[in-house]
A and B are shown apart, each in its own frame.
Chain A
Amino acid sequence: MAETPTTSNYPTRWKRPPVLLTHPAWRKVILLSGLVYLVLAVQTVEVDWQRVYLGLDRGWKFVQGFLLPDFTSRWNDIYAGLMESLTMTLTSTVAGILISVPIGIGAARNLAPAPVYLACRGIITVSRSFQEVIIAILLVAMFGFGPLAGFLTLAFATIGFLSKLLAEEIEDCDRSQIEAIRATGASWWQVVNYAVQPQVMPRLVGLSLYRLDINFRESAVIGIVGAGGIGATLNTAIDRYEYDSAGAILIIIIAIVLVVEYSSSYIRRWVQ
């Protein structure tokens, strides 16, 4: 059997092995169940193609409205909605930060005793598990229509987001600095002020600016359920089939998000 190996014995082609799910049987099972699910899911989607065909005309009008937006004829409504959105965004972010700093410190395991830790984590979980829109529905029912309900919604949502990330940041703090300050005989307040605060401050500023951006985007949404802001104006514009005004509002939203995003990345670089 001392056959000399010829080149034909070697494969000339090579296929990249799979990166994930290397077991072939599992691959087949998961692929097959995925296919079965897809077939089942697609069957539930009933599409009225005639309605879609009729709607294409409106879709085209919307594209036209987006390309040739009409800022002027509804400018008073747009301006009022925009002012509501912007004021709501700023006040709710400031209020949210003021409340979420103590909760964030309380939810950090290395600073807070167990009962406080559990209570603060509970608040964070409640705030995070419900969508802004659902909270807005409840608060509009309680406080009446208008931006105050929106302010409360956004502040509430900010608490869950900021406290959680702040608590994680505090838990990731450099322990040796805390120990050094504690070794000088500092009280708990002094430890927070001199050891923890300088370490988390840049991150807190960054997160607050990010949340400002998110709150503006959300303020455009919760208006749909009556919580004031540009969302209400947008909803009215679409209901009246005024796609050129709706296009103008969307362009304004995108522009403001862009401005906030760029300026916040600039401020973050300046702070750090």
Chain B
Amino acid sequence: MSHQTASQNLHWQLRTPKQSFLRWLGWFWLVALTVVCWQVMNENTIWAFVSDAPSQAADIGDRMFPPKWGYISSLWEPLWDTINIATLGTLLGILFAIPVAFLAATNTTPSTRFVRPLALLIIVASRSINSLIWALLLVAIIGPGLLAGIVAIGLRSIGFVAKLLYEAIEEIDEKQVEAIRATGASGAQVIDYAVIPQILPAFWGISVFRWDINIRESSILGLVGAGGLGIQLNASLSTLAWNQVAMIFIVILGTVVISEWVSARVRQAVL
């Protein structure tokens, strides 16, 4: 046909037909996969329990309210334990995370081929396992108590702190390192005078941030026997004392809000 009619029929489209078909296909597979997953997941679901849920919720809410305010007198000691688990665990984690971070950063590692992959493996292994699972293992190994909680929090913190810290180390200004090296400084002196001043604010920010997360996590570690508020929570749950559970939730919430405020203030001051 003539040139004119052909140009009239042209529409502007964002994507070529092939692109839009591929996109449609991608969405189709995502929806199909989700539906299949939903079916597989709910194979064993007892729907009678599910339809019963609102009345269960109302019942639990009824039992929770009013919270047993007097119960707080027996919560101060577990709360102190929880804070100690979080703080000592964070310190333990930092202690191990610093060398791991220096070994993992490309500009400070002694060997990119052997040491760096090992350091990265430590980081990944520590990061992928939640502190509750670490606690589960450690309670079985070293027995229930605060020590298991501290070590669990510490092991989980290594990966987090080391990952953020090694990224901070890789982002430093290399000129300062060169300048210090030009004065004839040794390797340790280069780290002390050129690297540390540059990463120190980030380091404190990361540590306080992790401490804040650890306060949240340590409050439930007691569920598996690792000390702190979780032990009281477990005891109250197994006796179905929902008004005590409500009181514990209030204490946990208060602690979390305060620790978040502290960490935000410290990060604001440091960064």
Chain A positions within 8 Å of B, measured between CB atoms, are 16, 19-20, 37, 41-42, 44-48, 51-52, 54-56, 58-59, 62, 83-84, 86-88, 90-91, 94, 129-131, 133-134, 137-138, 141-144, 146-148, 151, 217-218, 220-221, 224-225, 231, 234-235, 238, 241, 246, 250, 253-254, 257-258
Tell me if A41 and B84 are in contact (CB < 8 A).
yes
Residues of A within 8 A of B37 (CB): 86-87, 90-91
CA–CA, A241 and B44, complex, Å: 27
Chain B positions within 8 Å of A, measured between CB atoms, are 30, 33-34, 37-38, 40-42, 44-46, 49-50, 53, 56-57, 60, 80-81, 84, 87-88, 124-125, 127-130, 132-133, 136-137, 140-143, 145-147, 150, 192-193, 196-197, 200-201, 204, 216-217, 219-220, 223-224, 237, 249, 252-253, 256-257, 270
Tell me if B81 and A44 are in contact (CB < 8 A).
yes
Residues of A within 8 A of B220 (CB): 131, 133-134
Residues of A within 8 A of B145 (CB): 45-48
Tell me if A131 and B56 are in contact (CB < 8 A).
no
| 25 sampled A-B residue pairs with Cβ under 8 A | A44-B81, A44-B84, A45-B145, A46-B146, A51-B142, A62-B137, A87-B38, A88-B41, A90-B33, A91-B41, A129-B253, A130-B253, A131-B220, A134-B252, A142-B53, A143-B49, A144-B46, A147-B44, A148-B41, A148-B42, A238-B137, A246-B137, A254-B124, A254-B125, A257-B124
Residues of B within 8 A of A143 (CB): 49-50, 53, 56
Tell me if A254 and B50 are in contact (CB < 8 A).
no
State which of A94, A129, A257 has its C-beta within 8 Å of the C-beta of B34.
A94
Tell me if B80 and A44 are in contact (CB < 8 A).
yes
Q: Contacts A220-B130, A257-B128 hold; do A52 and B147 have CB atoms under 8 A apart?
A: yes
Q: Contacts A133-B220, A143-B49 hold; do A224 and B132 have CB atoms under 8 A apart?
A: yes
Tell me if B223 and A59 are in contact (CB < 8 A).
no
Q: How many A-B residue pairs have CB under 8 A?
A: 145
Tell me if A44 and B132 are in contact (CB < 8 A).
no
Main secondary structure of the interface of A (DSSP, over half): helix
A68 nearest CB across to chain B (Å): 17
CA–CA, A52 and B30, complex, Å: 49
A210 nearest CB across to chain B (Å): 13
Tell me if B124 and A131 are in contact (CB < 8 A).
no
Q: Which 5 A-B pairs have the closest CB atoms?
A: A144-B49, A87-B37, A257-B128, A51-B143, A87-B41
A228 nearest CB across to chain B (Å): 8
A234 and chain B: residue at smallest CB distance: B133
Q: Contacts A19-B201, A144-B50, A218-B130 hold; do A133 and B223 have CB atoms under 8 A apart?
A: yes
CA–CA, A37 and B80, complex, Å: 11
CA–CA, A238 and B223, complex, Å: 15
B64 nearest CB across to chain A (Å): 10
CA–CA, A42 and B217, complex, Å: 19
